[in-house]
Amino acid sequence: MFKRSVLSLLLASALVAGSANADQAAIKKNLTAQFPAANISSVTKTPYAGLYEVVIDGQIIYTDDTAAYVFLGSVVDTKAKKNITNERMAKLNEVKFDSLPFNNAIKFVKGDGSRKLAVFSDPECPFCKKFEQELTKVDNITIYIFPYPIAGLHPQATAAAKAIWCAPDRNAAWQDALLKGVLPKNDGSCKNPVDENVAYGNKLHISGTPTLVFANGQRVPGMVPADKLEKMLNSVK
């Protein structure tokens, strides 16, 4: 009798799992038909309100089990007082630090270099320039700057990034450009990784600069003041 009950439970679980997979496949098919240009990377049944989480073009949306309705915005757990969508988005945005293409970055070592930070930065971005000022206040850190021009916002940024990379001392050229507003005098025609960085950042859905990546994979968009950056660096485990 016990064995039969266990078998029944296993069969029931398999049927439920199969049904869920079928629902997810149907949802993806329906959404793809409605949004053919979109990239749907995952469909997951959530434990709340009968909703399905859909990751589409790097963003989270929610839908019902037939994809007849789509919900935009955050799901908030009122009891736990937490934004479930933001937490999931942060998890999805994590980047494996050791997988970053460090050969495409300008490396700065300050002090003992024990703490690590990667920054996708546009040399013409005003917030990147402010962040560069904040970095002058931070010690004992290794910083990997990935030149990441966003041409749609700053048309001269690509040329500036390539000129910096092609300078005899690209570390000094980067700081001169962002801290002093002085660009190196070259045509940026040397072999450089700027276009590769843009393609890589697009795959990660990096749409703004500066974007910070910490050693634990946490990704933080936007300018962070030095005091807050210190706390974030020290909290990385």
Q: What DSSP designation does 100 have?
A: S
Domain ranges of the chain: 2-92, 97-235
Give the three-state DSSP class for 166: coil
Residue 73 exposed, middle or buried by CB count within 10 Å (0-12, 13-18, 19+): exposed
Reading the block at residue 45, the tokens are 């049944």
C-alpha 11/C-alpha 108 separation (Å) is 58
Q: What is the mean pLDDT of residues 89-110?
A: 94
Indicate the fold that domain 2-92 takes in CATH: Nuclear Transport Factor 2; Chain: A, (3.10.450)
DSSP code of 80? Answer: T
Q: What is the pLDDT of residues 176-195, one digit of tens each?
A: 999 999 999 999 999 999 99
Q: Please name the fold of domain 97-235.
A: Glutaredoxin (3.40.30)
Q: Return d(Cα 173, Cα 164) in angstroms, integer.
A: 5
Strand spans (E) along the chain: 40-45, 52-56, 59-63, 70-71, 76-77, 82-83, 106-110, 115-121, 141-147, 211-214, 219-221
What are the pLDDT digits (tens) for 44-98? Answer: 999 988 899 999 888 899 999 888 889 899 999 999 999 999 988 888 888 999 9
Enclosing H/E stretch for 138: none
Q: With 90 as the cut, is the pLDDT of residue 5 above it?
A: no
Name which of 61-75, 104-118, 167-181, 191-205 the model is least confident about.
Answer: 61-75
Residue type, 2: F
Q: What is the pLDDT of residue 21?
A: 59
As a whole number of angstroms, the distance between CA 72 and CA 64 comes to 12
How are strands ordered across the β-sheet holding 40-45? Answer: 40-45, 52-56, 59-63, 70-71
The mean pLDDT of the chain is 90
For residues 164 and 123, the answer to whether their CB atoms sit within 8 Å is: yes
**CA neighbor of 86 nearest in space, from 55, 62, 60:** 60
So what's the pLDDT on residue 67? 87
Structure tokens at 97: 């630090």
- Describe the crossing of helices 157-165 and 194-203 by its angle, rounded to 10 degrees: 120
